[in-house]
Each structure stands twice: as structure tokens, then as C-alpha cells.
């Protein structure tokens, strides 16, 4: 699965979520070793965060 990274790497005020892709720091760190199913879950959660 392709990374949801948008090359806009800026964290929210709390320093927990990227404002470009919506992933948490833990999700970004885990992406490279995550299974495709885990990556799909991360991407879905990130998209939901950005939609809020």
C-alpha cells in the first residue's frame, strides 16, 4: 500500500498528529513494518482524523 504521506510534515499543536497525512507519530513510525492490513487501518484512521 502506498504511504498516505503528502510531503507536508507539520505536527498539530499537541505534537501528536501530522497535519499533512493525519497519522500519529506512532503510526508514521510503524508504517514501514506494518502489514498491508495494518497499513489500511492506519490510512483509514488518518483520513478520518483529517476529515474532522
Is the pTM above the cut of 0.75? Answer: yes
What residue spans define the domains of the chain?
Answer: 1-52
| Tens of pLDDT, residues 7-51 | 999 999 999 999 999 999 999 999 999 999 999 999 999 999 999
**18 forms bridges with which residues in the sheet?**
11
13 DSSP assignment: T
The pLDDT value recorded for residue 52 is 87
Residues contacting 41, CB < 8 A, separation 6+: none
Amino acid at each position: 500500500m502506498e504511504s498516505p504521506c503528502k510531503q507536508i510534515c507539520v505536527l498539530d499543536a499537541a505534537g501528536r498528529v501530522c497535519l499533512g497525512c493525519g497519522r500519529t507519530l506512532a503510526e508514521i513510525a510503524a508504517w514501514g513494518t506494518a502489514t498491508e492490513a495494518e497499513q489500511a487501518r492506519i490510512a483509514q484512521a488518518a483520513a478520518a482524523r483529517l476529515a474532522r
